[in-house]
């Protein structure tokens, strides 16, 4: 049976592998990964330290390339694109939320969120409108003129989420988004991600904490670079 274009997954990985070569030693970070992510999904990638979670997220975000296998984004293969093509797709299709926030210290909150749009050559008026909308979505509109150093860790992560959202990407990739936060701020960021998902965002999150993976609709468990289990969570209904 043929698949209609509307049913095509946003992301499809087929037999994906990643091998690192150092001093004639092969390290198989990922082996035989098969994964599909549909639009509107909230997927957690879980597993112990060193199992390949961050490597997989780097490949999904076009920050790294697989050694073998197929990666399709929006129906097109992206595993063999050159650096310029990758940068363009990252800017338009993928929003990143990092554990360490990665805000630029000498730029204001507004300027940090605006930065991805300036790389697109977008008009100033449209940039302002999008930035303000993104900041309001994460509850940080009142902090637009502040510097990152004037914010708490939880507030900085909210700004990082706004920066990921501002370009209206196809998917948000979150790498341990609560890793540098205390439990209260971590819970608040997870609630923010759930709200974004309820409003239509597609999210793929790496986490080692089962408390947070339960926020997702689906959890993919990695061990030694392989998918060893996948389960659908009851979180969406039970926690809403």
Residue 35's pLDDT is what?
96
pLDDT by residue for the chain (240 residues), tens only, comes to 344 445 799 999 999 999 999 888 999 999 999 999 999 999 999 998 889 999 999 999 999 999 999 999 999 999 889 999 999 999 999 999 999 999 999 999 999 999 999 988 899 999 999 999 999 999 999 999 999 999 999 999 999 999 999 999 999 999 999 999 999 999 999 999 999 999 999 999 999 888 888 889 999 999 999 999 888 764 444 444
pLDDT value, residue 131: 97
What per-residue confidence (pLDDT) applies to 6?
53
The sheet with strand 68-73 has its strands ordered as 25-37, 11-22, 68-73, 76-77
- For residue 231, the model assigns a pLDDT of 83
Neighbours of 180 (CB within 10 A): 16
The CA distances from residue 171 to 6, 39, 174, 237, in Å, are 16, 8, 10, 22
What Å distances lie between residue 186 and 3, 55, 96, 176, 179, CA to CA?
A: 39, 23, 17, 10, 8
The pLDDT value recorded for residue 93 is 94
Length of the chain: 240
Which residue in the block uniquely carries the two structure tokens 């196809």? 170
Q: Which two tokens stand for residue 74?
A: 């929006």
pLDDT of residue 23: 82
How many angstroms separate the CA atoms of 185 and 130, rounded? 25
What pLDDT score was predicted for residue 69? Answer: 96
Instruction: Give residue 233's pLDDT.
Output: 64
Domains for the chain: give ranges and CATH numbers.
Answer: 5-103+169-238 (3.40.50.300)
Q: How far apart are CA 72 and CA 203, in angstroms?
A: 17
Q: Which two tokens stand for residue 173?
A: 């990739």
Q: What pLDDT shows up at residue 239?
A: 42
At residue 230, the pLDDT reads 85
214, 40 contact by CB (below 8 A): no
- What is the pTM assigned to this prediction? 0.89
* Cβ-Cβ contacts under 8 Å for 137 (sequence gap 6 or more): 162, 165, 196
76-77 and 68-73: which strand pairing? antiparallel
């Amino acid at each position: 049976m043929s698949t209609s274009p509307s049913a095509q997954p946003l992301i499809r990985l087929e037999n994906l592998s990643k091998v690192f070569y150092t001093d004639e030693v092969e390290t198989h970070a990922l082996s035989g990964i098969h994964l599909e992510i549909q639009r509107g999904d909230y997927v957690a990638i879980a597993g112990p330290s060193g199992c390949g979670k961050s490597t997989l997220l780097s490949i999904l975000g076009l920050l790294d390339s697989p050694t073998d296998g197929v990666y399709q984004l929006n129906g097109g293969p992206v595993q063999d694109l050159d650096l310029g093509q990758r940068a363009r797709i990252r800017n338009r299709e993928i929003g990143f939320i990092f554990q360490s926030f990665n805000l630029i210290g000498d730029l204001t909150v507004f300027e940090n969120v605006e930065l991805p749009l300036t790389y697109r050559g977008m008009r100033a008026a449209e940039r302002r409108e999008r930035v303000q909308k993104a900041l309001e979505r994460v509850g940080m509109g009142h902090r637009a003129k502040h510097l990152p150093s004037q914010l708490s860790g939880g507030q900085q992560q909210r700004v990082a989420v706004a920066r990921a959202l501002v370009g209206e990407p196809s998917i948000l990739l979150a790498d341990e988004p609560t890793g540098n936060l205390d439990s209260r701020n971590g819970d608040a960021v997870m609630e923010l991600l759930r709200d974004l998902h309820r409003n239509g965002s597609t999210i793929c999150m790496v986490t080692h904490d089962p408390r947070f993976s339960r926020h997702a609709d689906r959890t993919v468990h990695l061990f030694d670079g392989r998918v060893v289990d996948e389960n659908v969570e009851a979180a969406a209904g039970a926690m809403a």
